Amino acid sequence: MNDIRVVLADDYPLMRENVRKLLAKADGITVIGEAADGHEALAMVSALEPEVLVLDMEMPGLSGLKVARQLQTEKSPVQILVISAYDDKQYIQGVLEIGAAGYLVKSEATPDMIIKAIRGVAGGEKNWVSPRLFETPSNTAPHALNDQEKAILRLVVAGKTDREISNSLGLTEDQ
């Protein structure tokens, strides 16, 4: 059986280094490339054809969200595993809807969880997410989005800028 080929895309060199070192110890997983921004990530996926792209959302040049959308538009077979600091459930749902196979929150992602998630998404599993994201504290009610928040979220997931969103919805950028 061939190793799972992985490209790491994160603007923090330390994050890439730590994940690379972790995966070097995991049987059956090989890191074949590292990207520091979204443009590099797209180029590496095209040139190296990995099975899995481990992707951060907040990167210079081209965000992880735009990378995921572009890969979906191109019908790329790469499976995307997002590892990001963002932990908003609605945002994560939007990321999964545009094609990411999994989403782990950096503050919760254990080494074992990262390895299992990479193996899972490489094997075709979808909706791999940090377990805590499904928990709702018993003393708080979940916040339902109002219509304006839903409209903003749809535009964020569509890759619109703050200015485009505010113009589209008739808002000022600081509203």
Q: Which amino acid would we find at residue 118?
A: I
Output the pLDDT for position 144. 67
The answer to whether 53 and 80 have CB atoms below 8 angstroms apart is: yes
- CA 8 – CA 52 distance, rounded (Å): 9
Output the pLDDT for position 140. 46
- CA 93 – CA 47 distance, rounded (Å): 29
* Residue 85 neighbours by CB distance under 10 Å: 10
> Which residue in this structure is represented by tokens 């997931």?
157
* Residue 11 neighbours by CB distance under 10 Å: 17
Token pair in block for residue 171: 């808002």
- CA 84 – CA 109 distance, rounded (Å): 9
Mean pLDDT by 10 residues, the chain (175 residues): 93 96 96 97 97 95 92 95 91 89 92 96 89 56 67 76 83 64
The answer to whether 162 and 170 have CB atoms below 8 angstroms apart is: no
